[in-house]
Each structure stands twice: as structure tokens, then as C-alpha cells.
Amino acid sequence: MIVEAFTPAIPDRSMPHPQSDGGATAGQAANAGNPSSSSSSLSTCSLRARVPCKINLFLEVLGTRLDGYHDLDTVMMAVSLCDDLEIHPRLDSEISLQVDLSEASHLGEGLLGGHRSAWSGDNAWKIPSDRSNLVCKALEMLRQRLGIDRGADVVLRKRIPSQAGLGGGSADAAAALVLASLHWTGLWEPTVACEIASNLGSDLNFFLEGHNGVAYIARCSGRGERVQPIASNLKLWFVLVHPPQGCDTGAIFRKLKETDQQAYDATGSSTNHRSPESLMSFLSAEDAVGIGAELYNRLEKPAASSNEWIERTASRFDRYNPLGHCLSGSGSTRFCLCRTHEEAEKIASELRSFRDMRVYTASTWSSPSIFAQTERLNLGS
């Protein structure tokens, strides 16, 4: 998550990939002189962040919790398909959200946009801008937790499709927690943000705590709120395919429960759960071939039974003999692990010729951790 502060007279609507220029850090600003003065100076700035999506290299469902959610055992990696989020000052207590889809309309679409009317189930860019958006929920919870009544104008530039299993909404909400904390108080308190994140969704804590010093790669358990970074410096290349029909997470988990019950009735035994230990060893050893062989998603079968595109994309990937391919999250995005950047570009180019799916090339998204990026926050005008 790259974080930058800027003070435009009119909010800048074009954002290059932000880079730190070694200016004053957020930590220095927050701790220098009068804390209230530091908070005031930050609150007059606009803040922005670039946040990646995630893919699940491994996903096992261990069972249903008493709170209705599921216990998970998953290994996630952030990859380089990103959204941008900006927070601008307001004088009142309103929180407004503007969703900008201008780049989503062409990135990865191929000629899919020309056939949009044919895909009635395509909800990729139906992103709410009201209080139902996870960004707004995160900001409201943060205000309550901090005991403040400050407002903000938020601009969200979407490139990560919705109902894709890529965690785009969670990444955006995690960025909102970081930027709003700095914007409203001049301080970054990860404990507060992580507490809120754990109550908002299964993927948010990964984007706050899943950094290994080089990239975002972690094993997550519980609902996803318990995060254990995995040591790995390996650069991996992927092709991500998102069909014009998303998957509803709740429906997929209900389908899993149904298929598990059918299997139990047929065999009289419970489902054996797989462990990601082998995958984690290959990640630490930086063995791409081993990683490809260990890709796994427990939700594959229930998703495939609910969405015909799941098997269709799997069949297309099989033609290219990649190191491996797998469903991400509850779908409907499928990704394949490639040997090289050139192989990924070749596969993506050929898949785009079908003109019926979004196709992206992506790599391991390396950047400083969220906390290190916060320290490197540029407070210059």
C-alpha cells in the first residue's frame, strides 16, 4: 500500500503510481512538537493510497463457527492489480464516496465492453457509493472507535472487479482505515485499525498485517483475522481471468455445506481437511514449480456447480500447461501461475481473443509494509 500526501487546490483526478521522495515521515510529524498541531496539519492534506488485490494460493474451510461465519485456513498473496483511494478534507461531518470507473472500463476488458448487454449476471462494476460500501462502513466504525465527528470526501478509483474473489473491497476498506486515521488524528494506531478490520470482513487484516518485509504473503486463519506472514522473496507471474458472471460468497458457502452433507450421507465420514504446510515450504524455498503443484481451493467444486464459467476457464488454462491454476476465494476469478513474464503475456493475449472474459497479467505486488509506508508518508505540499 503506497501512501502519499498532497495538497491540491482542486483534487487531482489523475494519479501516477505514488513514490516516496524521502520527505518528512508521518511518524516524525505525529511526534514532533504539539500533537494537536500535527493532527491539524495532516487534516488539511489530502491522502491517497494504491492498494493491491489478493489471490488465494490455498484455501481450506474447516467448519462453521458459532457466529455463522466459517473457520478458514488460507494462504494469500497480494498481486499487482490495484485500486486507488483518496481522502480529501471536509469542514463538516459528512462522509461522501465517489466511485470512479473510468479506468475499469478498459483495463483487462478486451472487447468484453462491446458485449456488455449480453452478460446480465455481470456485476463486476456495480460498486455502491453509499453507506453499504465497505469503505464507508470502515470510516464510520473508525469514527465511533476514535470518538470523533469528522467528515471526508473519498474518491475510489476501481480497477479490481467485484464478485471476483480478489478482495478488492477489503483492500479499499483497509486503505481507508489507514488514511482516515492519519487524516483525522495525525496518528497511525495499527491495533485500533486491526480490531475494526477483524469485525468488517475476512480479508481486511491481511492487507494490514500480511507483509513479510518484501511483499504481502501470509497464512490467515480464524475468519481470516489471524495473520502469519510467510518468508518469501520470490517474484511470481500470473494470468487472472474474471468471467462476466460473478460468484455470491454466501451462496457458495451454502453450496459447500450442502455438498459436504451429501458426501457425509454417502460415506458416513467427515471431509478430510488439507494443510498448507507443503505450499508454505515451497514459498519459503522460492520453488515456483512446487507452489504450482500445491495450489488448492476447497470452494472450487461448489463454485463450479453454481457458475458454468469456472470449469470453462479451467479448461482454457489447461491448454497452456502452466505451473498450476486455481480459483481465487469464492470466485469467479481463476488464475494460472506462469514460468515467466513472457509466458504470462502470451497466455493473456491469446485468452483475450475469446472476447468474453476480463484478462489481466499480474505479479507478486512488492512494496514496503503498511506500517513502513506510513512512516515514509510525504507531508510536503
HEC string for 9-69: CCCCCCCCCCCCCCCCCHHHHHHCCCHHHHHHHHHCCEEEEEEEEEEEEEEEEEEECCCCC
CA distances from 49 to 46, 83, 131, 272 (A): 11, 8, 21, 41
- Residue 26 scores a pLDDT above 50: no
- The pLDDT assigned to 169 comes to 96
Other beta carbons within 10 angstroms of residue 346's beta carbon come to 15
Which residue ranges make up each domain of the chain? 23-381
Task: Quote the CA–CA distance of 37 and 47 in Å, as a whole number.
Answer: 18
- Residue 35 scores a pLDDT above 50: no
- The domain 23-381: what is its CATH number? 3.30.230.10
- The pLDDT assigned to 345 comes to 98
- The pLDDT assigned to 38 comes to 46
Mean pLDDT, rounded, of the chain? 84
Query: CA Rg, the chain, in Å?
Result: 21
Instruction: Tell me the mean pLDDT in the region 198-220.
Output: 94
Residue 381 burial (CB < 10 Å; 0-12/13-18/19+)?
exposed
Query: How distant is the alpha carbon of residue 113 from its chain centre?
Result: 23
- Residue 379 scores a pLDDT above 50: no
- Residue 305 scores a pLDDT above 70: yes
Contact 207, 225 (CB under 8 A): no
Task: Quote the CA–CA distance of 333 and 316 in Å, as a whole number.
Answer: 13
- The pLDDT assigned to 68 comes to 65
Q: Is 346 among the catalytic positions?
A: no
Catalytic residue among 83, 122, 203, 356: 203
Name the percent of the chain lying above pLDDT 70.
77
75-89, 104-118, 136-150, 166-180: the lowest-pLDDT one: 104-118
Handedness of CA 34, 35, 39, 42 (dihedral sign): positive
- Residue 334 scores a pLDDT above 90: yes
- The pLDDT assigned to 31 comes to 36
- The pLDDT assigned to 65 comes to 72
More confident site: 271 or 123: 123
- Residue 11 scores a pLDDT above 60: no
pLDDT interval class at 22 (50, 70, 90): very low
Q: Is 63 left (phi over 0), alpha (psi -120 to 50) or beta?
A: left
Q: Is 203 among the catalytic positions?
A: yes
